[in-house]
Structure 1
Amino acid sequence: MRGREGCAREWGIFVITKYRIVGSASVSILALMAAACPAMAAAEDVPAAVPMPAAVAPEPDTSEAAPPEIVVTAERTNVTLQKTNLSVTAVTADTLAKSNITEITGLNGAVPGLVVAKSGGGERQISIRGIGSETPENPQTQPGVSVHVDGVYIFNSIAANAAFIDVAQVEVLRGPQGTMYGQGSTGGTINIVSKQPELGKWTGNVDAGYGNYNLVKTDGALNVPIGDTIAIRGAIQYYNHDGYAKATKVAGQPDYQLDNANDLGGKLSLKWQPADNVSLLLSTIQYRGDANAPAQKNILDPEPDPRVLTQDYPGKSYIRTQLYYGVLKFDMGPVVFNSITGYQKLRSIQSWDGDGLDTDLFYALTNGQAPGAGVKYDHIATWTQNTESWTQEYNLASNTDGRLRWIVGGVYLHSTNNSYINEFRSNEGNGLNAALPVSAAYNDPLVKTITYAELSAVTREAYAGYAQGTYKLTDRLSFTAGIRYNHDTYSGVSASQSGPTSSNTSGAYLQPKPGVGTSTNRVTGKAALNYDITGTSMVYASYTRGFKPGGINSSAAVGNSSYTIFGFKDGTKPTFKPEELDSFEIGSKNRFFNNTLQLNASGFFYLYHNMQFLEEDAVLFGNGVSNAPEAQVLGAEIEADWHPTRHLRFEGSLSLLHSEFTSDYYALDPTKARNAQIAAGYAGVGGFYSNFYLATLAREAARVNINGNKLPKMPTVQGSVAASWTGEVGPGEFTARAQYIYRGGYNSRVFADPVADKTPNYSQVNLFANYDFANSGFHASVTVTNLFDEAGVNSRFTDPYGSGQVSNTYIPPRQAIFSLGYRF
């Protein structure tokens, strides 16, 4: 049964509290909720196995002021958000529009516990509750937060850069999703649910907006029925704006734009429903992003304006993604069969100024000399990737009203990734071109400019089987159990060069050779108890396990590591282990005061094993992926949505987190390694290699114990509050909304260096106003984001490969956008 589209909101109060009281505070909140009075019966679960439609409500609520009921696809079945035994936030298309959220980075602040950072090339590093990816720009590893589009797993994290196109809602599942989503979802999962074709309806919309920075945003969609059994929906979106920042030292372009956008995307879907119990959905999403590089300001940059960079290389970014998928659903009465098939391609070419400074400053500041002295060069990075992947999933789900609801399924994934990394020293910029083509000869003079190069082709093959069931022990008490078997295999060829000399004496300067493959087998799962206190209040307790596969380090790391050469205990090893997370969570979901207040809370404790992170090695160019043995996380979250009257609405969320590494591991920070090397008198490459052993010992002595450090990407306090008013004004309806976002500071890496790793807190105020002209379909809106133009640091990145420089990425500046739209 279908109803109106809804949207989830959060409400919160900022409370700064010490770690030792967080656990008791969350338990007290849950106890108070459990004792609360009932309001009215909640909607029942909607039995379906595949997320075909957008969020819909089974029945409209009888209370005019009640928050709308949200249906989510959280565990491969459509179920109301208030009945799920896990922490989920659903951000609808309406909320995305009001906050000018156009892609996944914009979700910062909108979801408790979520942090989306950027690496050197602008790759998204997504973390939920501090669990995500600490291995940037590394095709050998998997993300810690998986991304799915209409049930299809998105293989490459760069593909997550694509804009949201014709989206119904974005669901963020917090905590490991080891049963339904498997490997790569240690921290959680982001489900992007598209709007689907509707049978028998001519509908559509067109919207156009203009704002400062010459922002132009246009999008439109059209739903066309063909007879009674077929419908086609097409959507297109264009998004363009000038740079939020500029580089002042690019030759011939003194105001070279950075952080600009030039995105074009489209989606086309066909739905065929020859009978009431059979449907087939065929879709494709195409996206192209062609822009300059992101603005990443070196913390040593003497220019005080955070949006002006003393940078002299014109970085560029080109991304093309193609996604094709089909969903077949066959309702056989007591069971529903589903097939989800996906094929995707990615081509990405990126280049950026690895030091973020001009040629005079970079060498001088990093070697303690006066500007203009010594060798002048830039550190330039280029990265080309081509990814192709297939996914296939089959599942069978129960479709009865009995005490047992279940789903079983199998998944197969196959992916190939071809990657070429070319880091070089130069005084000239040439856009997307690398210093050397892949075919360059070993004796090409430009080989002498290389600091690091890698050519690899990696194949990943994975399959999994899963089963999950929920059994009603009584009318109020139910038990959920799930299990998943995961198998992952990595194989491929690679070649790398560290420093200015090729290891080959004939042919190409890089000659890939087969590497040692890896294979990982793990069992993950879930166990949970649900208790319905009343028709609108429930509590749950759950245990879940998630994991991320291990793998093999690049040939450079394997051949040039202190572990391999000298046998040092800690540091980069030829292979790295899988990481695992055990989660213990309690929570409560409630509606109070005649269903006008929705209040959800959770408390959780994590045991984190073998966290994968990128580490420097004592031997130069031996860096790779290592494992931090043990860590713990404790946290609490609150989300609320209150409608005191039919005109007023208050929303918000609050996240409180504490974490620490709990075992000894002596890790080597790239910056500290370089400083130790210079202090020992081995600053230059020639000096290093002529004193190989002594320089290595100096770098090895710079290791620090990370035991007791906080985990990265984990703000202690994060939250938002919002208030809105909707009512009749003149011949239409007017809506006004104000939102305040606060994100606390956090460590950007495991090393917790007080200078390099402390990402500061920031706050942001957003405003929105909309007017719907009665009975016309037209509407006009104004959106203002970052009202006070705060230069908040969204993320901090330390280049682990070449320059070793630390840079800040800032939130967008103040933007005012005026939009007109028409819907029918």
Structure 2
Amino acid sequence: MKFFTILNVSTALATGLAALPATASAQETQVPAETAQAESNEGLQDIIVTAQRREENLQKAAIAITAVDGESLTRASITDATGLSRVAPSLQVSTIGGSATQFYLRGVGNFTTNSNTDAAVAVAVNGVSIARSSAVQGMFYDLERVEVLKGPQGTLYGRNATGGQINVITRAPDLGEFGGYMSGEYGNFDAIKIEGAVNAPMGDNGAIRVSGMVSNRDGYLSDDTSDESMSAVRLQMASELTDTIRIRVGGDYAHVGGNGPGVTVQGLDRSDRIGSLDPRAQPLIQSTLSFPAGSFLGSRTGMDVYQDNDYFGFFAQADIETSIGTLTILPAYRRAQVDFLTCTAQCFQSKLKNDQFSFEARLASDSDGPLNYIAGLFYLSETSHERANYNQDFGSFYSNFNSWTKSYAGFARLTYDVSESFRLTAAGRYTIDDKKADISAYNTRVVCPTLAGGPPFCIGTPPIRPVQLQAPANLFDANGNLIPAQPYGNGALLLGALARNTPDNRFEKFTYRLGFEYDVGPQSLLYGSFETGYKSGGYFNSIDNPIFQPETINAWTLGSKNRFLDNRLQVNLELFWWNYKNQQISRFATNSAGGIEFITDNVGKTRIRGVELELLGKITSTTTLTGLVQYLDTKRQNYTYSTPAAVGAPVTGCAVTPNGAVFDVNCSGLPAINAPKWSLSGGIEQVIDLSSNSQILINADGRYKSKSFVGNEQLASQVQKGFFTADLQVKVQFDKPDFYIAGFVNNITDENVSVFTSFHPAGPATSFDLLAPPRTYGVRVGFNF
């Protein structure tokens, strides 16, 4: 009832306020065109987005979306997806499993170190869906903008997503023009970044654009993990072949190296940022007794972590104007070759080769008639081959994971103008995902036999080392048969089990959207929608049944977008209510051989509801203020699972009840993870004119997030308390030549924020924190030509 009261009051307020622009608009029509143009230049600028597969003004798009332009991304020093959390407050991003990136939007997302899991928040680059979270790197340079769509995307996009969509749009070639830019940046942690682009004409109606980026810095942790070593290049060509045919083709390559992500150990002072490979962290790690091995966790000193990842792809887009609309054809190919060893909660090594080919064809009407439409077909073929080792000191899981996916979809969206100001929308998509896999899994674990009358201790038994992709030869006899049990260490046994699974499943779903749009005034839009979302089922590495089923979400949205005061004040309001069903949750679990696996379950329901208010004001011609408030109320409504009682009570903050051979775990009533109740942000941009040729731009931004769980087990140790961070940039801009120099500092107060916390699966008394970047500062210079 409380939520509906807020919704009704907010809707009435937005509708009432929407009457204000009508008077301003009438006054504007009476002034000369030159004066009107001058006033509009002093007002808020429009942003054009393509989130609904056609160009439209952001303020006219009847969807929940945040759009960030290229200049804002540069100012925030964003070089990878993890930085998007700073410019899109409702989004939580982190990289924890080597190259795997996890996205959460309003509590919807998936934590995974399984690179073959579909994303709940999908990513597309220039309209091309990126199938795997392990391939979302090396693309954040020479960008036009990034669009963050909130809520399920079950109708227009290539891969269904339950939480949202991130659209990365690169700068397209400027037809018939020569130009470009170059920028350089140096900061603490010996950070060096160089970025640039050259745009060359190919006649009056064509152009080629080459852009690239190199970024290197030392690690944020004492063991030099959480570092960056990245290089990337992109080549594009565009041309208007005729008045009705436009083409754009491109290719890109990126290499990501360095040591990769790192963690610190809980119990150490976060402000010291001592990495888990640092000798100073070893006494704390090695003081943890691991059961059932009966020995202490091993040292990580000297562990040679690394990343050696390559990403490349090609795409071609043709837009053909016809008498019935614009036909867009978009074939694309992408490959990710991933090779890394990381030690976060556990040590994890992987070699992965992933190839995807996609094809999309869609027809969009010209928007002149009362009935407008978008209709299309989508196809994806994906092949993935991975060898992986999950090393948990006294348990080591080796797998060969080969998977094949064929995805087919047809979609359509219709919008009908009931009147000049009122429109209705209906959309649908039918998706078929054919997935099969060949999984060979080897599970080894160390067990100390129980001593009569006392606990099992085999102190001094070494952990299973080294971390390697191939199962050790000592697991097999001379004939290649697995040895199920053999002596190991100080009285312990090394147990082994293997299995081969070849699942082959079809997952299919019809998703749809119903909505309305009402122009309350010339610059006020009221909209609402009901949309369903779906994320395909799939497989995980296991010696048991490796299958999980699809998850779904139903989302209600009511929003209002408004401009007031001669286009100087923007007030956008959104209310949302999502019901998340059959949610895919990844967690550590015990398999049939007693070993520890990282599985994916389908569990329960989660209710997500809230309100978001966005403010943007051009206070004077030189001062702009921004503000955002999001209130989020999440609740697990039916989240239960069971674990074998033989391995002891599970490590969880949820309610645990013994039930014969299992423990029943009930997490109902708890909030979702990565879902702070309050997210607030604000900023100011101040322009100070020095002369007719130069000016100073000052940008200050701050954001606050209230406490939230940052770990799946929802333990007290996995709560990140509320925190505030702020960034500042001072930039001197010259017009002739077009040159700038800027000084910046991010995370001014040097907050030590955990974005993910997990415990060691073989020694749950030891927890590890993945930290957001500390205070960073430096200088940035650049010029345009």
Instruction: Quickly name the TM-score band, shorter chain normalised.
Output: 0.7 to 0.9
Alignment pair present for 1:485 and 2:430 = yes
Matches of 1:30 and 1:667, distance apart in 2: 44
Q: 1:333 to 1:771 in 2, by over 3 A?
A: farther
Matches of 1:700 and 1:269, distance apart in 2: 61
Matches of 1:182 and 1:96, distance apart in 2: 25
CA-to-aligned-CA distance 1:410-459 (integer Å, 9 cap, x gap): 00001111111113477xxxxxxxxxxxxxxxxxxxxxx86111111101
TM-score (norm 1): 0.80
Identify the match of residue 748 of structure 1 among 706, 710, 718: 710
Alignment pair present for 1:380 and 2:347 = yes
Matches of 2:501 and 2:567, distance apart in 1: 62
In structure 2, give the amino acid aligned to 1:306: R
Who is 1:142 aligned against?
118
Report how far residue 744 of structure 1 moved: 2.1
Alignment pair present for 1:458 and 2:403 = yes
Matches of 1:664 and 1:137, distance apart in 2: 22
Matches of 1:673 and 1:342, distance apart in 2: 50
Range 289-298 or range 480-489, more displaced? 289-298
Who is 2:9 aligned against?
28
Identify the match of residue 581 of structure 1 among 553, 572, 575: 553
3-state secondary structure, aligned to 1:39: helix
The within-5 A match list for 1:736-815 is: 736-755=698-717, 757-798=718-759, 806-815=767-776
In structure 1, give the amino acid aligned to 2:502: G
Contact 2:262/2:344 (<8 A) preserved? no
CA-to-aligned-CA distance 1:653-691 (integer Å, 9 cap, x gap): 1211111121252355x9x9966389xxxxxxxxxxxxx
In structure 2, give the amino acid aligned to 1:186: T
Matches of 1:61 and 1:337, distance apart in 2: 37
The within-5 A match list for 1:6-21 is: 21=2
In structure 1, give the amino acid aligned to 2:575: G
Alignment pair present for 1:332 and 2:322 = yes
In structure 2, give the amino acid aligned to 1:38: L
Range 393-402 or range 792-801, more displaced? 792-801
Who is 1:722 aligned against?
683
In structure 2, give the amino acid aligned to 1:293: G
3-state secondary structure, aligned to 2:140: coil
The within-5 A match list for 1:575-724 is: 575-619=547-591, 620-621=594-595, 623=597, 624-663=599-638, 665-668=640-643, 676=649, 701-724=662-685
Contact 1:120/1:799 (<8 A) preserved? no
Report how far residue 557 of structure 1 moved: 3.2
In structure 2, give the amino acid aligned to 1:642: G
Range 174-183 or range 470-479, more displaced? 174-183
In structure 2, give the amino acid aligned to 1:461: K
Who is 2:781 aligned against?
820
In structure 2, give the amino acid aligned to 1:723: I
Matches of 1:532 and 1:507, distance apart in 2: 72
Matches of 1:78 and 1:217, distance apart in 2: 32
Contact 2:498/2:543 (<8 A) preserved? no
Contact 1:452/1:802 (<8 A) preserved? no
3-state secondary structure, aligned to 1:381: strand
Matches of 1:175 and 1:77, distance apart in 2: 19
Report how far residue 228 of structure 1 moved: 2.3
3-state secondary structure, aligned to 1:90: strand
Report how far residue 183 of structure 1 moved: 4.0
Q: 1:804 to 1:345 in 2, by over 3 A?
A: farther
CA-to-aligned-CA distance 1:54-79 (integer Å, 9 cap, x gap): xxxxx978423321111111111111
Contact 2:129/2:158 (<8 A) preserved? no
Matches of 1:241 and 1:233, distance apart in 2: 27
3-state secondary structure, aligned to 2:82: helix
Alignment pair present for 1:551 and 2:538 = yes
Contact 1:42/1:535 (<8 A) preserved? no
Q: 1:65 to 1:673 in 2, by over 3 A?
A: farther
Report how far residue 86 of structure 1 moved: 1.1
Who is 1:375 aligned against?
none
TM-score (norm 2): 0.84
CA-to-aligned-CA distance 1:762-808 (integer Å, 9 cap, x gap): 21110011111132111111111011212122222346699785321
Q: 1:699 to 1:232 in 2, by over 3 A?
A: farther
Matches of 1:41 and 1:231, distance apart in 2: 44
Who is 1:213 aligned against?
189
3-state secondary structure, aligned to 1:28: helix
What is the number of equivalent residue pairs in this alignment? Answer: 700
Report how far residue 137 of structure 1 moved: 1.5
Who is 1:467 aligned against?
412
Who is 1:88 aligned against?
65
CA-to-aligned-CA distance 1:694-750 (integer Å, 9 cap, x gap): xx9999644421111111221111121001111311440210011111122222345
In structure 2, give the amino acid aligned to 1:71: I
3-state secondary structure, aligned to 2:327: strand
In structure 2, give the amino acid aligned to 1:637: E
Alignment pair present for 1:233 and 2:191 = no
Matches of 2:620 and 2:135, distance apart in 1: 42
Of structures 1 and 2, the one with the larger relative CO (CA 8 A, separation 6+) is 1
Matches of 2:110 and 2:631, distance apart in 1: 20
The within-5 A match list for 1:135-534 is: 136-181=112-157, 183-247=159-223, 257-301=224-268, 305-309=272-276, 310=281, 311-312=300-301, 313-355=303-345, 380-424=347-391, 451-500=396-445, 502=475, 506-507=479-480, 513=500, 515-534=502-521
3-state secondary structure, aligned to 2:52: coil
In structure 2, give the amino acid aligned to 1:321: Y
CA-to-aligned-CA distance 1:378-424 (integer Å, 9 cap, x gap): x6321221101100000011114111110100000011111111134
Higher strand share: 2
In structure 1, give the amino acid aligned to 2:62: N
Contact 2:618/2:624 (<8 A) preserved? yes
Report how far residue 117 of structure 1 moved: 2.6
Contact 2:383/2:403 (<8 A) preserved? yes
Who is 1:687 aligned against?
none
Gaps of 5+ in 2: 26-35, 282-299, 446-473, 483-496, 652-656
3-state secondary structure, aligned to 1:117: strand
In structure 2, give the amino acid aligned to 1:739: D
Range 227-236 or range 32-41, more displaced? 32-41
In structure 2, give the amino acid aligned to 1:497: Y
Matches of 1:729 and 1:627, distance apart in 2: 60
Report how far residue 122 of structure 1 moved: 5.1
Q: 1:417 to 1:61 in 2, by over 3 A?
A: farther
Q: 1:526 to 1:711 in 2, by over 3 A?
A: same
3-state secondary structure, aligned to 1:34: helix
3-state secondary structure, aligned to 1:246: coil
Contact 1:178/1:544 (<8 A) preserved? yes
In structure 2, give the amino acid aligned to 1:621: G
Range 793-802 or range 176-185, more displaced? 793-802
Report how far residue 27 of structure 1 moved: 3.8
In structure 2, give the amino acid aligned to 1:422: N
Contact 1:737/1:768 (<8 A) preserved? yes
Who is 1:130 aligned against?
107
In structure 2, give the amino acid aligned to 1:722: G
Contact 2:556/2:576 (<8 A) preserved? yes
CA-to-aligned-CA distance 1:440-497 (integer Å, 9 cap, x gap): xxxxxxxxx8611111110111010000011110111100100000000111211111
